[in-house]
């Protein structure tokens, strides 16, 4: 798989390039925002490691434009700041994960492996599934989601999160189970990823500004996806019953 590492700290890029190549990945580099977008178009990476503070174009701007170019490429944001506002903004723009500097290269490698492992499992399914509940539809084959026949544009991580909820409808999921099921992380990794992504997913599934009461918080435990009256219907994407 091909990765793109974007940071104006050339020593850090060199270090990450070495660590990722040791794991068998092909790695491209960019040192500013404009070069990053050019590399995304040229290299078509599977995952981008993207710093927030970049010359020429800020990382947030680059992320927005990446999402217009390719909704499916995974993005891990890097930031020297641990401010939750920055983290939330990156996730709102479609980042799949974030790391706050300083971090150990092996931690980044673990995050990259987890995200790409989930992507490979999704692509490798023999029979993609369609999930339906009420007016919400998720199609694994086309990677599309709609609510009341209106397309809902989700990042790759948001799509995985909704699919995980719908596949486990009616069962309370702990934060640890969600982290493992969506990100592939151990229970002690992930921070506010679940909370922030659930919040954003709820907003995107809202109808006329009013939230659909399908993702419920279970205080002290986790989250429950409660489908419409008929629950969640699962069928093969080609229309035959699963």
Q: What is the pLDDT along the chain (242 residues), one digit of tens a residue?
A: 899 999 999 999 999 999 999 999 999 999 999 999 999 999 999 999 999 999 999 999 999 999 888 777 899 999 876 667 787 788 778 888 888 888 999 999 998 998 887 665 555 444 678 998 888 999 988 888 998 888 998 887 888 899 999 989 888 998 888 888 887 765 455 557 788 888 888 888 887 766 778 899 999 889 999 876 656 787 765 544 43
Q: Are the beta carbons of 66 and 48 closer than 8 angstroms?
A: yes
- The answer for residues whose C-beta is within 8 angstroms of residue 148's C-beta and 6 or more apart is 135, 207
pLDDT at 155: 80
Q: Are the beta carbons of 143 and 213 closer than 8 angstroms?
A: no
pLDDT at 1: 86
pTM of the model: 0.66
Hey, what are 236's tokens?
A: 């093969």
pLDDT at 32: 97
Torsion angles phi and psi, residue 8, rounded to 5 = -85, -5
* Measured distance CA(32)–CA(45) in Å, rounded: 17
Q: Are the beta carbons of 66 and 96 closer than 8 angstroms?
A: no
pLDDT at 236: 64
- The answer for residues whose C-beta is within 8 angstroms of residue 20's C-beta and 6 or more apart is 3, 5, 27, 109, 112
| DSSP string over 118-179 | HHHHHHT-SS-EEEEETTEEEETTTTEEEETTEEE---HHHHHHHHHHHHTTTSEEEHHHHI
């Amino acid at each position: 798989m091909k990765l793109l590492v974007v940071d104006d700290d050339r020593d850090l890029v060199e270090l990450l390039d070495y660590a990722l190549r040791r794991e068998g990945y092909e790695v491209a580099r960019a040192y500013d925002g404009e070069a990053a977008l050019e590399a995304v178009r040229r290299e078509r990476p599977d995952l981008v490691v993207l710093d927030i503070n970049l010359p020429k174009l800020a990382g947030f701007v680059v992320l927005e434009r990446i999402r217009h170019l390719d909704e499916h490429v995974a993005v891990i944001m890097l930031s020297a700041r641990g401010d939750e506002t920055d983290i939330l903004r990156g996730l709102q723009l479609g980042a799949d994960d974030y790391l706050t500097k300083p971090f150990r290269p092996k931690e980044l490698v673990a995050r990259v492996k987890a995200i790409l492992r989930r992507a490979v499992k999704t692509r490798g399914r023999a029979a993609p599934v369609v999930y339906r509940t009420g007016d919400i539809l998720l199609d694994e084959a086309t990677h599309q989601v709609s609510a009341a026949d209106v397309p809902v544009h989700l990042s790759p991580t948001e799509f995985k999160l909704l699919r995980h909820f719908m596949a486990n409808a009616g069962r309370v999921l702990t934060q640890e189970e969600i982290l493992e099921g969506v990100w592939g992380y151990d229970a002690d990794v992930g921070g506010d990823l679940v909370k922030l992504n659930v919040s954003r997913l709820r907003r995107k599934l809202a109808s006329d500004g009013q939230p659909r009461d399908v993702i419920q918080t279970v205080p002290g435990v986790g989250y429950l996806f409660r489908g419409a009256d008929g629950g969640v219907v699962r069928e093969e994407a080609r229309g035959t019953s699963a």
